[in-house]
């Protein structure tokens, strides 16, 4: 119950943060437009005011000259001066008439027409959502033997009962997908190498953000609610640390290794390199450690769970699981497995692998002894996977941009 409550609170807080950010953006946009409108109007009024002041000063000078002329000039000079004065005044009147005919003397008022959807927001949206209690029949059986000793037997689903149930299908049209991550609030992060972007969508397919990267992204891992780590393709040795709040790359890590799949555990990035296999990169110190395990192959992905490291080997058509002490826990190899790529692990240690060329998703038991092959018609080439342990949801992405969110049943 505490875990579920924490997940709900985290989701509400994240939603509130997104609403605040969106409203802040709208407010800044309106204030900017008001300021620009005011500055433009004041600038225009200043030009007209200076023009009218110049005309006023000219007429005042003519009037003063006319008074002096009346006191000191002859009648002929007064007559000629009067004619010149009348012509000058008429020219100024014509100029003012031209101003009046245009829009220069119109009264400008800044008005605000409020968005009716925003105005009705406080009335139409009465809550973040409904909180309820879902009750599921218990599988606990109470037995009372002759000795009057109580035993409690808790039954769970067997490995053969596990299945994937589609919750939602999302399309990333025109995107070529190599990496993905599903955040605790079910926000989807997709790495698109063909456009050098990270795309963020919610489960209702609304595009939240598009983050432009300096290089083609390969794989993504979730560090915290504000940060992602991204490896790059094209035999690149660069890692980007992306801030989801600012939508920018806040740090670039350059190394001598060529990277592919990436995962995060206890302050360290666990990354597959085609040069040395698996390495560990500490985010605080920047120290890189070659772990001495994994395979020196291209396009291998990695996942971490309870200290164990899981990685795919596309060239060897196999899956490897390593213990905390780096010894090999198990190796899975099956003739139906053609090109294993993305890998994810759930809370129980179940392993999920995308077989891109085989067109299937494999589920492997925690000890590597059993497996199931599941065909997902909507995703013909499953490339990359990510697991939301807070909500027990599996994200499966096809290379063509078709994405499915599944619950484990």
Domains of the chain, by residue range, sit at: 2-124, 159-408
Regions of the chain with pLDDT less than 50? 136, 138-155
Q: Are 274 and 260 in contact (CB under 8 A)?
A: yes
Which pLDDT value is given to residue 147? 41
pLDDT for the residue numbered 403: 92
Please give the pLDDT value at position 36.
84
Second CATH level (architecture) for the domain 159-408: 6 Propeller (2.120)
What proportion of the chain, given as a percentage, has pLDDT over 70?
Answer: 83
- Give the pair of three-digit tokens for residue 408: 């484990």
Residue 100: Cβ-neighbour burial (10 angstroms; 0-12, 13-18, 19+): exposed
pLDDT of residue 153: 34
CA separation for the pair 221, 196 (Å, rounded): 17
Alpha helices in 127-271 (DSSP H): none
Tokens 């993305």 appear where?
342
Six token digits for residue 387: 């697991």
φ, ψ dihedrals at 79, nearest 5°: -65, -50
Task: Provide the pLDDT for residue 142.
Answer: 44
* Residue position matching structure tokens 């198990």: 330
- Residues present in the chain in total: 409
The token duo for 66 is 């006319």
- pLDDT given at position 122: 59
pTM: 0.63
The predicted pLDDT at position 4 comes to: 67
pLDDT (tens digit per residue) in 90-142: 887 777 777 666 666 666 677 766 666 665 565 556 566 656 555 545 444 44
Residue showing tokens 């100029």: 95
169 SS3 class: strand
Structure tokens at 31: 């204030």
- Give the whole-angstrom CA distance, residue 150 versus residue 147: 9
pLDDT of residue 18: 78
- Is the Cα torsion angle 319, 270, 387, 391 positive or negative in sign? positive
Angle (CA) 289-292-297 rounded to 5° is 105
Q: What torsion, rounded to 10 degrees, do the Cα atoms 51, 55, 60, 62 define?
A: 150
Task: Please provide the distance, in angstroms rounded to a whole number, between the alpha carbons at the two ends of the chain.
Answer: 19
Q: Whole-angstrom Cα distance, residue 116 to residue 31?
A: 18
Closest CA relative to residue 235, chosen from 178, 276, 179, 274: 274
Query: How many CB atoms sit inside 10 A of residue 23's CB?
Result: 12
Q: What is the pLDDT at residue 102?
A: 66
């Amino acid at each position: 119950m505490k875990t579920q409550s924490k997940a709900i609170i985290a989701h509400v807080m994240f939603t509130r943060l997104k609403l605040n950010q969106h409203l802040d953006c709208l407010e800044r946009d309106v204030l900017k437009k008001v300021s620009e409108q005011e500055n433009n109007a004041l600038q225009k009024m200043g030009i007209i005011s200076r023009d009218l002041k110049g005309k006023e000063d000219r007429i005042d000078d003519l009037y003063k000259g006319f008074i002096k002329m009346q006191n000191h000039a002859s009648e002929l000079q007064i007559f000629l001066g009067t004619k010149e004065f009348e012509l000058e005044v008429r020219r100024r009147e014509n100029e003012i008439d031209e101003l009046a005919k245009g829009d220069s003397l119109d009264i400008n008022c800044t008005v605000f027409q409020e968005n009716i959807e925003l105005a009705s927001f406080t009335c139409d949206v009465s809550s973040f959502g409904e909180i309820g209690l879902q009750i599921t029949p218990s599988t606990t059986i109470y037995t009372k033997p002759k000795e009057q000793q109580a035993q409690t037997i808790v039954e769970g689903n067997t490995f053969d009962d596990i299945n994937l149930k589609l919750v939602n299908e999302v399309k990333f049209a025109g995107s070529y997908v190599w990496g993905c991550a599903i955040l605790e609030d079910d926000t989807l992060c997709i790495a698109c190498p063909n456009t050098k972007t990270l795309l963020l969508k919610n489960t209702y397919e609304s595009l939240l953000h598009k983050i432009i990267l300096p290089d083609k992204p390969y794989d993504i891992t979730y560090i915290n609610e504000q940060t992602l780590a991204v490896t790059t393709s094209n035999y690149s040795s660069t890692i980007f640390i992306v801030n989801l709040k600012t939508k920018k790359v806040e740090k670039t890590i350059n190394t001598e290794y060529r990277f592919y799949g990436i995962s995060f555990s206890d302050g360290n990035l666990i990354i597959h390199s085609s040069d040395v296999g698996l390495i560990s990169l500490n985010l605080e110190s920047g120290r890189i450690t070659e772990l001495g395990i994994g395979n020196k192959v291209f396009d291998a992905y990695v996942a971490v769970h309870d200290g164990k490291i899981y990685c795919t080997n596309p060239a060897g058509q196999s899956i490897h699981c390593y213990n905390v002490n780096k010894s090999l826990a198990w190796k899975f190899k099956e003739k139906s497995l053609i090109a294993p790529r993305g890998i994810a692990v759930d809370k129980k240690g179940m392993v999920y692998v995308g077989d891109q060329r085989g067109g299937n998703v494999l589920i492997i038991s925690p000890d590597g002894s059993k497996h199931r092959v599941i065909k997902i018609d909507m995703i013909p080439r499953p490339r990359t996977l990510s697991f939301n342990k807070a909500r027990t949801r599996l994200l499966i992405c096809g290379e063509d941009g078709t994405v499915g969110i599944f619950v484990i049943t």
